[in-house]
Structure 1
Amino acid sequence: MAAPTHNMKYRFLGNTGLLVSRLSFGSWVTFDTQLDFEKAYSIMEHAYKNGVNFFDNAEVYANGQSELIMGKVVKAGIERKLWSREDLVISTKLFFGTKSGPNDVGNSRKHIVEGMKASLKRFDLDYVDLVFCHRPDPSTPIEETVRAMNFVIEQGWAFYWGTSEWCAKDIIEACEIADRLGLIRPVYDQPQYHILERSRVEYDFDVLYKKYNYGLTTWSPLASGVLTGKYSKGIPEGSRLSMPSYKQMLSNGLEEKIAKADKLAEVAKEVGCSLAQLSIAWVAANPHVSTVILGATSIKQLDENLKALEYVDKITPEVRGKIDAIADFRPKVVPQAEPFVINLRQKWL
C-alpha cells in the first residue's frame, strides 16, 4: 500500500469503529446555490487528496439538489478512478424534507423510511454511511424514531444513525429505548459549535460523553463567516450573510460577535495563523469532536481551512485562556426543539 501524501489525522466517530477525517467537508449553502457540478467535483477531489474522507449532506440542502450534485461527484470520482465508494463516508440528514405536506417533515417512521429512499434515489447510491435525525421532533414518540432508524440500518440503507441539534435528555431516552428493545442506538450528534457558541457541546452533552462516548460531527466552526473577520467592515457581496435566506441567522448580537472576532484576530496573530485557522483548530482540539465540518467555495479557501490542523497543538492552556476571556461565553439552557421546528408539525393541527 502506498504511503499517504497528506497529513490528515483521523478519529473514531464516537463509540464506533468508523474512522473519520478530523476535518470534513459539508455541502450546506454551497452546493447548487454557489457551486455547480464541476466546481463541486474539483473541491471534493482536492479535499479527498488531502485526506478528507467524510462528506456531509442533508435532504433539505438546496431542496435535494445538494444530494443530487454530490451523488454525481461520487459517481464521477469512481469512473475517473479517483476513489472507490468504500473510500468515502457519506452522510445525509432527515427531517425537513423536500415537499410541503403534513407528513413530509419530522421523525415519523413514514418520513424517515420514505425520506431515506428518496435521498438514496437523489444520490443514486445504494447506501449512505451515516444518517442523522436533522432535528428533534416533539410530535413523534422517540420509540417510533428509534424503531424507524433501526429499520433503515437493517435494510442496509445506512450503517450508523445519529442526531443533530438534539438535547442530551432526548438522546439518553433514545439510547435507553434502543437498549431496552435490543435495537441500534444513535451514536453521534451534529451540533453547532464554535468559540462563540458552546452550550450544547460543553455543557448539555457532558453526560453523553461519560455515559455513551457519544460522537460529534460539528458544524459552523467559523460562525457563518464571522470568525474569519470578513464582516469587520460590513457584509461583502456574495458572502453567506449577504444571502437573503441566511441574513437572520446572526442578527441577534451580530455587532458584538464581530467585535469579539476582531479581538480574537489578535490572538491568531500571536499564534501565527489566520483567525479562521485559529477558530477551526480550537474546535478540533476538543477531544470529544470526531470531525469538524468545513464549507468552502474555492480550493484556496479549503486549503487555508485544512491548514488549521497544523495549529491544534498551539491551542495551549494560555491561548485557550485568552480566547475564553474574549468570548466571555455564558451557557444557555438548551431547548428540546427550536420554535420553528415545533411549528413545522403543529401548524397542521
Structure 2
Amino acid sequence: GLSIESVHSGLTCLLSEQAMEQEEKQQRSRHVADYQRLREVRAAAQLKNLEDFLRMNHISLRDSVSYTTGMIYRNLGKSGLRVSCLGLGKSEELMTIAYENGINLFDTAEVYNSGKAEASSSGTILIQAIYHLYTQTSLYKTGLKASLDRLQLEYVDIVFANRPDPNTPIEETVRAMTYVINQGMSMYWGTSRWTSMEIMEAYSVARQFNMIPPICEQAEYHMFQREKVEVHLPELFHKIGIGAMTWCPLACGIISGKYNNGIPPYSRTVMVLGCLTQFFVFHCILIFIVYVLAH
C-alpha cells in the first residue's frame, strides 16, 4: 500500500502545481489589465492632444465629429486631412447653414467675385484654388498671399493648382507648391483639371527631387462626366494614394434647368431635361447629388 509519506508528497506536488497555475493566471490577468490600462492612457493622451488642438482652433470636440449633424467625413486621399463629403463654394448665408449642419469643406478662389468671395472663417477646411501662377514669386506676391490677406488667415488647409499651365514645366509647379507648404501658407496641395499623366509626372518629380507631391485631384463629376473619376482616379489612388474631390454635381446647372431659357427650344437635351425639371426638379437634383456621393 501507499505510505503516508508518499501520499503527503503527492498532495504537496498537486497543491504546488495548482498554486503555480493560479499564480500564472493571476500574472496573465495582471498583464492584460496593465495592457488595457496602457491602451486607455494612450487613448486619453491622444484625446487630450486632439482637444488641445481643437481648442486652439476654436473648435469643440462635439462639433468636430459630427455627432449632432450626421455628416459623413472622409480623408483626402491617404492624407490626414478629413473633410465633409459635401463642400460649399460661396455665399455667406449658405455657408453658415452648411457649417451648422456639419460641412467643414469650403472651396474658394481668387477669381470668385474678384476676391470678394473670400471671407475669414475658423474651424473649417479652407481650399484655395490658384490659376496659372505657379512660380514661387507669383504665388507668394499675387496669388495665395493676397488671398490669405483677404481671408485674414495665416494659412489654408489645401491649395489647388487649377489647370496646368502649358507655359510652365510641371517641375516648376511642384517646386512652387512645395515652397508654399514650407513657408507655412498651406498644409497640402492638390491638382484640379489635370490629366492622369500630368498627375503622375508631378508625383514622380516630387519623389525624384525630394519635394512634396499632390494629395488629390479635383475633377468635374456628374452623370454626364464619369470616366475620369470612375476609371482613371481609382487607379491613381491605388498606385500613389491620390484622392478625389469632385465639383459640379449638377453639370453647371444644366440638370436643374438653369439654362433652359437660353438654349435653342428644340434641343434634344432641353426637351428631355425640361420634362424632368418640370415634374421632378427637387427629386432630380437629389438623385444626381446622391449619385455623386455614392461614387
TM-score, normalised to structure 1, is 0.60
Query: Deviation digits for residues 288-342 of structure 1, max 9, x if unmatched?
Result: xxxxxxxxxxxxxxxxxxxxxxxxxxxxxxxxxxxxxxxxxxxxxxxxxxxxxxx
Q: 1: CA distance between counterparts of 2:176 and 2:82? A: 25
2:138 match: 111
What pairs with 1:9-20 in structure 2 (closer than 5 Å)?
9-20=72-83
Kindly state the Cα deviation for residue 259 of structure 1 after the two structures are TM-superposed.
4.0
Who wins on radius of gyration, i.e. which is larger?
2
Letter in 1 for 2:72: K
What pairs with 1:283-322 in structure 2 (closer than 5 Å)?
283-286=292-295
CA contact (8 A) 1:189 1:215 kept: yes
| Counterparts in 2 of 1:256 and 1:127: CA distance versus 1, 3 Å | farther
CA contact (8 A) 2:202 2:214 kept: yes
1:24 match: 87
What pairs with 1:250-269 in structure 2 (closer than 5 Å)?
255-262=267-274
CA contact (8 A) 1:15 1:215 kept: yes
1:157 match: 185
1:55 and 2:67 aligned: no
Residue number among 278, 281, 287 corresponding to 1:278 in the alignment: 287
Letter in 2 for 1:88: T
What pairs with 1:334-349 in structure 2 (closer than 5 Å)?
none
Aligned residues, how many? 231
Q: Percent identity over the alignment?
A: 39
Kindly state the Cα deviation for residue 205 of structure 1 after the two structures are TM-superposed.
3.1
CA contact (8 A) 1:196 1:257 kept: no
2:256 match: 228
1:64 and 2:115 aligned: yes
Partner secondary structure for residue 159 of structure 1: strand
Letter in 1 for 2:137: K
Partner secondary structure for residue 133 of structure 1: strand
Kindly state the Cα deviation for residue 273 of structure 1 after the two structures are TM-superposed.
6.6
Letter in 1 for 2:270: I
Query: Deviation digits for residues 133-179 of structure 1, max 9, x if unmatched?
Result: 01101211111111110111111110010011011101100000111
Q: Using CA pairs below 8 Å that are at least 6 residues apart, which structure has the higher relative contact order?
A: 1
1:88 and 2:124 aligned: yes
CA contact (8 A) 1:93 1:134 kept: yes
Kindly state the Cα deviation for residue 263 of structure 1 after the two structures are TM-superposed.
6.8
Q: 1: CA distance between counterparts of 2:110 and 2:272? A: 34
CA contact (8 A) 2:108 2:117 kept: yes
Unaligned runs of 5+ in 2: 1-60
What pairs with 1:117-132 in structure 2 (closer than 5 Å)?
117-132=145-160
Partner secondary structure for residue 228 of structure 1: coil
CA contact (8 A) 1:131 1:162 kept: yes
Letter in 1 for 2:111: V
1:186 match: 214
1:140 and 2:168 aligned: yes
| Counterparts in 2 of 1:26 and 1:14: CA distance versus 1, 3 Å | same
Unaligned runs of 5+ in 1: 32-39, 75-84, 96-104, 236-250, 287-349
| Counterparts in 2 of 1:48 and 1:170: CA distance versus 1, 3 Å | same
CA contact (8 A) 2:233 2:243 kept: no
